[in-house]
Structure 1
Amino acid sequence: MNNDNKPQYRLPFYKELFFSIATLFVTFVLVIFFFQYNLDKESRKEMLNSILQDYNNLIYREYSSSKMTEARLDSIIRGITDKNLRVTIITVGGKVLTDSGHDDSIPLPSHKDRPEIMQALNTGVGYSVRKSETLGRDFFYSSRRYDDIIIRSSLPFDVSTLSMLKADNKFTYFLIVISLLVMIILYYFCNKLSKSISILQDFSQKAEQDKPVDIHVKLAKNDIGDITHNIIRIYKNLRNTKEELSIEKEKLFSHLQFSREGLAVFSHDKRVIVANNLFVQYVNLISDIPLTNTNNVFNVPDFKKITIFIDKNLNTWHKNDDVVSDSMLITKNSKTFQVECIIFQDRTFEISVSNITLQEEESRLKRQLTQNIAHELKTPVSSIQGYMETILSNPALSEEKKTLFLERCYAQTIRLTGLLQDISLLNRIDESNDLFDYEKVDLNAIISEVINDSAVALEEKNMSINCQIPNPAPINGNHALLYSIFRNLMDNSLSYAGNGTQVSILCYLQDNNYYYFSFSDNGPGVAEEHLNRLFERFYRVDKGRSRKLGGTGLGLAIVKNAVLFHKGEILAKNRLDGGLEFLFTLKK
């Protein structure tokens, strides 16, 4: 059974700290104790040696005044002290002259090699603690040299002598008491310190497990408490920042997915970090081979320019304020895409793909519209200019001719005014819908107004009207735009249906939301290839004939935009029995 995964017991921090400091302190105290003990012991040896030296001096004075015998020596010793003092008189050669503890008749061996004797010979005094070679007991020896002799006194190294050498226990007791007090105080402070450490440890565990942290926890008023407070506050700020970044990240991803551009961000090694759906769709639309991995976009030949740009600039250092970017246009499968690449300072880069087909088409239509407007304006202006130059350059021109030319100039100004009005109306419908007010109007009344305004032209062309409209037909709309719908359709029939034809205006269906209209004639109709373009601005099926008839080429474009303004749809078709028919709806 494997026990490696079992949690190992660890002492609490404050105990570990306490034992560590306590061990160092006890070691320090023991060193001081033994140092002081040895120092005191040596001091007491010196004191005992000093006492014995005094005995040596007394004995030497007695020795100098009379002949020293064993009996005499014992008498002197008894007069000095009642202790078991032993005195030996030795020559500098080591010969024992007399020994108070030995019979002088029995010679003793030379004492020259005794440690205390050797010290006395070298320094004048000496002492040692050793076993007596004569008596076989431990003695404390103290010797002094006096000219040609050495006097040595000694005491047995027994209980009485040991008591003299024993260190003073007061200092020992003092160290013990101080040590205990220090230990108690140390334990108190370590335990107090452990509370701050425990709070910090609890915080670290919660932070590691991403659990909420209480920043209002009560902390000790010390440096660790301040540090813990700052760490918790910094963590709280970082957590809030992380949450804010997470929200911003979600916003960014949402923006990427709902963006109208194809967007992708790549790492420095051309690995995709994030890409939205449009990017994948656009890239596969451009690529001739379906891409199973977005990273393969750099293998698409159409992206060669962007790939070269990335390879060239990705590992090149740029200033922080430099924008490293490039763009290109790709036209593929009837679509036009704008591809842009931006390289960031961290060597990641973004590629965006925008479908600008509609913008390109709008740009083309605007250019075409500008050309058409210029062309349409040029015709009446040139006519007016020509007639006026003729009148001015020919003073002898008859009044009849002048009147004819002026009437033609006036007709061209009327055409020009109509053209400008139509252009203005279209622009207002396109760009300023809010300029048109809604009101309750009657479609029956509007259609009747159109028929009455066109009565003369209908009579001239021997055209009849078939009108089947509910009476009343209320609608919430703009009177001017509704009038323009039916008037322009009527003008179109007057211009192209032909003499003797019939115009039909029918509301063939209505529901709660819409009216469904059919506006038709039984004229020649138009070729099929022109039906889809009838509502384009300035589009004419027969350009020469249209200009002769005085049309601006904007009537049906106005009709379509006015129908769209009223939330409807319109389309054109040829009738089976001949003629052109417009089907459209208008929201009630």
Structure 2
Amino acid sequence: MQKFRIRLNFLFLLIIGILLLLLGLYFAKMLQTIYIDVLEDRLMKEARIISDDVLYGNLMEKPDALQQRMERFSREIGARITVTDRAGKVTSDTEHDPKTLPNHANRPEIRAALESGAGQSIRYSATLNYDMLYVAVPLKKEQNIEGIVRVSIKITRVQETVRNLWVSLVGVLVLTLVVFGFISTRITKSITQPIEEITHVARGITHKKFKNRIRTNAKGEIGQLAQAINFMALSLEQQMSAIQENEKRLESILNNMFSGMILVSDSRRIVMMNAAAEQLLGYEAKDSLGHIHTEIGKSSGLSQLIDRCLETGEKIREEIHVYYPEEHIIDANLGAYTNEEGEIKGIIVLLHDITAIRRLEKMRSEFVANVSHELKTPITSIKGFTETLLDGALEDPEISRSFLEIINEESDRLNRLITDILDLSKIEQKKMPLKVEEIDLSQLIKETIRIVREEARAKNIAIYLPAEKDITLEGDRDRMQQIVLNLVSNAIHYTPDNGEVTITLREPDEKSVEMVIADTGIGIPAEHLPRIFERFYRVDKARSRESGGTGLGLAIVKHLIESHHGMIHVESEEGRGTTFKIILPKYQTSRFPA
């Protein structure tokens, strides 16, 4: 815009300069003409005065007197005076000896004077070697022409005068040009400044600077244009604000969705991806946007669905397996979006991670199968021994008592199984509120060990209790006792005769308690460690059933520890024993299981 102002100012100055130059030339020429005309008129009058003086004094017949008289006149008027007879012979000249001068009959001014009574010309003088202005009048006496009086002046004087006029005129022109330049600068600034501001604001709008406004007092069309751009900027600012707010809402919604969302254009390039999709596919959006979907996805099934949806435009819903970065089962929903002409412009892909659902379905199926299997064994035993008794064994007291003892044991086992299932169900459904109280954990462990002491003595297993130290925490006494009882019972069951079970307590910090139960038993193979807290999962199934276990003890322990906002960790080496490490908070924030 600065260049435009310069160009406009230069254009104004050029026009004004040309006009002033033309006016200057015109006035200079006019002044030169007027000056020469005035000079000619003056010389003409002087020549007539000299002519009358010559005729009055009859000086044509007195050459010496004529020469003296002409020299006097020449000094007074500052001009060259030449007098010739009718034939053109020079009789007197104030600059040269008349005898040395040639005949002047052919001089233009003299011929004109003889013909019309007056003559003038501007020409180069061969005698004086410079331009001269000549004026000639005839010496008429009673209608007879006796000679010619010619008055001449150096044209250089005229040229000097015209030059002085030109100097004055140029000075006036320059001063006028400066004044007009200042005025044109002010005018161009008043014209271009609003345009510059309009351009600045318009460029700002293209760079999303919608808060800029045009501040000008310009009137007319420029003022209306400024108001229109200000209104446009305000409207764009409001629209962009609304768009940005909607974008933030959309971004917030998409990033807080648990389902993955991908937007693929009709050129098969990814244009949008939310955080859930990044987590499912293992790619960050910044590395994926703009790429073809087959370049970033490692699921050929998903890529095939995207291509099929783009080609057909139909809605698709299928389950796919993704193995990177982790194995997932995904419910993929694909739908095309179109423009006003019905052309497919891209597709929206929604990805729901149903891995947990399918895992739960599988666990439910396995749970039903395990429960059925666990219930079937005691029921089959009870039914078999009952039928045997009914078939006649009831008459034999020894057999009857033996069978009834077995039926009683199986009934107890069945009762324990059902009780454990009900307890586990209540814990998982958070229907067992904790009765939180302050517990002396060392005392609780001692009381719990008394229950299993006889069982440990039978196998000659030594149980080492924690050192005498007051370690207290908040918790449900019965549930805490159940945790210790289950873990110690398991340690005794899976530890050979003459083994050891060690229980230690410590406080790693002011807010937590750590309890460790270690044994020297048979240990757990490494491949089974991730699953030992699953319901009905047994490492040694035959031995577990023989010991009367239900397969739910560790699952109950884990849930009870989690209900106390704690954690359990197991380490084991086959043939060298198992160690359970439990970390519990000293203070419960809630009286209900988490």
> Normalised by the shorter chain, which TM-score bucket?
0.5 to 0.7
Contact kept? 1:280, 1:294, Cα under 8 Å: no
For residue 340 of structure 1, what is the aligned residue in structure 2? 333
Any idea what SS the aligned residue of 2:370 has? helix
Q: 1:212 to 1:550 in 2, by over 3 A?
A: same
**Could you tell me which of 415, 418, 432 is aligned with 1:417?**
415
Q: 1:571 to 1:382 in 2, by over 3 A?
A: same
Give 1:309 shift. Answer: 3.1
Deviations 1:507-533 (CA, angstroms, capped at 9, x unpaired):
144421111222122334333443343
Deviations 1:47-106 (CA, angstroms, capped at 9, x unpaired):
xxxxxxxxxxxxxxxxxxxxxxxxxxxxxxxxxxxxxxxxxxxxxxxxxxxxxxxxxxxx
Contact kept? 2:310, 2:347, Cα under 8 Å: no
AA paired with 1:311? L
Give 1:441 shift. Answer: 2.0
Considering only aligned residues, what root-mean-square deviation do their CA atoms show, in Å?
A: 4.1
**Could you tell me which of 292, 308, 313 is aligned with 1:296?**
292
Give 1:577 shift. Answer: 9.9
For residue 555 of structure 1, what is the aligned residue in structure 2? 553
Contact kept? 1:335, 1:355, Cα under 8 Å: no
How many Å separate the matches in 1 of 2:439 and 2:493? Answer: 28
How many Å separate the matches in 1 of 2:431 and 2:212? Answer: 55
For residue 385 of structure 2, what is the aligned residue in structure 1? 387
Give 1:304 shift. Answer: 4.3
Q: 1:476 to 1:294 in 2, by over 3 A?
A: farther
Give 1:396 shift. Answer: 5.7
1:459-498 equivalent positions in 2, closer than 5 A: 459-498=457-496
How many Å separate the matches in 1 of 2:552 and 2:510? Answer: 32
Contact kept? 2:435, 2:475, Cα under 8 Å: yes
Any idea what SS the aligned residue of 2:569 has? strand
Q: 1:522 to 1:332 in 2, by over 3 A?
A: closer
Q: 1:281 to 1:464 in 2, by over 3 A?
A: closer
Contact kept? 1:568, 1:586, Cα under 8 Å: yes
For residue 73 of structure 2, what is the aligned residue in structure 1? none
For residue 328 of structure 1, what is the aligned residue in structure 2? 319
Any idea what SS the aligned residue of 1:584 has? strand
Any idea what SS the aligned residue of 1:375 has? helix
Any idea what SS the aligned residue of 2:421 has? helix
Q: 1:236 to 1:210 in 2, by over 3 A?
A: closer
Any idea what SS the aligned residue of 2:301 has? helix
Any idea what SS the aligned residue of 2:349 has? strand
Contact kept? 1:309, 1:326, Cα under 8 Å: no
Deviations 1:280-308 (CA, angstroms, capped at 9, x unpaired):
5644679xxx9865541156633343134
AA paired with 1:419? L
Q: 1:447 to 1:281 in 2, by over 3 A?
A: closer
Q: 1:575 to 1:506 in 2, by over 3 A?
A: farther
Give 1:376 shift. Answer: 1.2
Give 1:480 shift. Answer: 2.2
Q: 1:470 to 1:397 in 2, by over 3 A?
A: same
Give 1:341 shift. Answer: 1.0
Give 1:544 shift. Answer: 0.9
How many Å separate the matches in 2 of 1:440 and 1:452? Answer: 21
Any idea what SS the aligned residue of 1:538 has? coil
Contact kept? 2:337, 2:347, Cα under 8 Å: yes
Contact kept? 1:514, 1:585, Cα under 8 Å: yes
How many Å separate the matches in 2 of 1:239 and 1:393? Answer: 95
1:181-196 equivalent positions in 2, closer than 5 A: none
How many Å separate the matches in 2 of 1:432 and 1:310? Answer: 44
Give 1:277 shift. Answer: 4.2
For residue 396 of structure 2, what is the aligned residue in structure 1? 398
Structure 2 length as normaliser, TM-score? 0.53
How many residue pairs get matched?
365
Contact kept? 1:298, 1:307, Cα under 8 Å: no
How many Å separate the matches in 2 of 1:509 and 1:491? Answer: 24
Give 1:550 shift. Answer: 0.6
Q: 1:3 to 1:503 in 2, by over 3 A?
A: closer
For residue 350 of structure 1, what is the aligned residue in structure 2? 348
How many Å separate the matches in 2 of 1:396 and 1:577? Answer: 46
Contact kept? 1:469, 1:505, Cα under 8 Å: no
**Could you tell me which of 432, 438, 441 is aligned with 2:439?**
441
Contact kept? 1:503, 1:522, Cα under 8 Å: yes
How many Å separate the matches in 1 of 2:424 and 2:486? Answer: 13
How many Å separate the matches in 2 of 1:570 and 1:284? Answer: 30
Query: Which consecutive residues of structure 1, in runs of 5 or more, have no partner in the other structure?
Result: 8-204, 214-231, 317-323
Q: 1:431 to 1:369 in 2, by over 3 A?
A: same
Give 1:269 shift. Answer: 4.6
AA paired with 2:583? T
For residue 255 of structure 1, what is the aligned residue in structure 2? 253
Contact kept? 2:503, 2:518, Cα under 8 Å: yes
How many Å separate the matches in 1 of 2:333 and 2:468? Answer: 57
Query: Which consecutive residues of structure 2, in runs of 5 or more, have no partner in the other structure?
Result: 9-201, 214-230, 587-594
For residue 89 of structure 1, what is the aligned residue in structure 2? none
AA paired with 1:336? H
1:11-30 equivalent positions in 2, closer than 5 A: none
For residue 369 of structure 1, what is the aligned residue in structure 2? 367
Give 1:381 shift. Answer: 1.5
Any idea what SS the aligned residue of 1:571 has? strand
Deviations 1:430-472 (CA, angstroms, capped at 9, x unpaired):
3317623322222123212211222332333333321114543
How many Å separate the matches in 1 of 2:252 and 2:572? Answer: 48
AA paired with 1:544? A
AA paired with 1:327? E
Deviations 1:229-265 (CA, angstroms, capped at 9, x unpaired):
xxx9xx9999978755643431210222343333122
AA paired with 1:341? L
Which deviates further from its counterpart, 243-252 or 490-499?
243-252
Question: Runs of 4+ in structure 1 displaced over 6 angstroms?
Answer: 4-7, 235-242
1:432-581 equivalent positions in 2, closer than 5 A: 432=430, 435-574=433-572, 578-581=576-579
Q: 1:266 to 1:510 in 2, by over 3 A?
A: closer
Sequence identity (%): 25
**Could you tell me which of 411, 428, 439 is aligned with 1:430?**
428
Deviations 1:335-357 (CA, angstroms, capped at 9, x unpaired):
12422212245444311234444
Any idea what SS the aligned residue of 2:248 has? helix
For residue 308 of structure 2, what is the aligned residue in structure 1? 309
Q: 1:475 to 1:2 in 2, by over 3 A?
A: closer
How many Å separate the matches in 2 of 1:431 and 1:355? Answer: 23
How many Å separate the matches in 1 of 2:349 and 2:419? Answer: 46
Any idea what SS the aligned residue of 1:483 has? helix
How many Å separate the matches in 1 of 2:465 and 2:439? Answer: 18
Give 1:407 shift. Answer: 1.9
Contact kept? 1:526, 1:580, Cα under 8 Å: yes
How many Å separate the matches in 2 of 1:469 and 1:356? Answer: 49
Q: 1:369 to 1:2 in 2, by over 3 A?
A: same
Structure 1 length as normaliser, TM-score? 0.53
Q: 1:274 to 1:308 in 2, by over 3 A?
A: closer
Give 1:6 shift. Answer: 9.8
1:27-176 equivalent positions in 2, closer than 5 A: none
Contact kept? 2:440, 2:473, Cα under 8 Å: yes
Q: 1:423 to 1:459 in 2, by over 3 A?
A: same
How many Å separate the matches in 2 of 1:281 and 1:520? Answer: 39
